[in-house]
């Protein structure tokens, strides 16, 4: 089978944005906002992780093309019990960047979980309420 041949497709501006949510305890959210996480700032670490992951999507997903990305940006919306992360990816390419956006936002959420897991565990070392949900592409654009 192999990779899809995109040789004849024109290079155009492509953009995709994906979002996802991590559900955390209100105490964990408060500690994040107050800068009280042992490993450092989880939002900053998650942003770096998202950028690195988006750039390596072609390594992680076998049929994805290697795309030189023009930008990867990450944003957050914090509520009392969750953090919604968004990852915007833009490139001049022959194929879309939605998988890069999905991989980016997923890694941001995974990194957030890793940074606060010691606060989220119950007495048995489990995560009964912590969860990552609603990962999706919210927007995709091709051309101007």
Just list the catalytic residues: 114
Q: For residues 52, 29, 40 and 119, what is the CA-based torsion angle, rounded to 10 degrees?
A: -100
By residue count, the chain amounts to: 144
Token reading at 74: 């990450």
- Which secondary-structure segment (H or E) carries 29? helix 26-33
**Tokens 């654009």 belong to residue:** 141
Token reading at 46: 């998650």
Is the CA virtual torsion 88, 11, 140, 24 positive or negative? negative
Find the distance separating the first CA and the last CA of the chain, reported in whole Å: 33
Token reading at 8: 């004849």
**Tokens 């990962």 belong to residue:** 135
């Amino acid at each position: 089978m192999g990779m899809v041949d995109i040789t004849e497709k024109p290079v155009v501006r492509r953009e995709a944005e994906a979002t996802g949510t991590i559900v955390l305890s209100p105490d964990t959210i408060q500690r994040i906002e107050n800068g009280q996480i042992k490993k450092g700032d989880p939002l900053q670490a998650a942003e770096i992780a998202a950028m690195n992951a988006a750039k390596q999507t072609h390594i992680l997903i076998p049929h994805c093309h290697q795309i030189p990305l023009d930008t990867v940006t990450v944003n957050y919306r914090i509520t009392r019990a969750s953090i919604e992360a968004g990852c915007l990816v833009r490139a001049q390419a022959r194929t879309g960047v939605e998988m890069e956006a999905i991989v980016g936002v997923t890694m941001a959420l995974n990194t957030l979980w890793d940074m606060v897991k010691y606060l989220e565990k119950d007495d048995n070392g489990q995560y009964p309420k912590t969860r990552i949900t609603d990962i999706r592409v919210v927007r995709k654009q091709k051309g101007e």
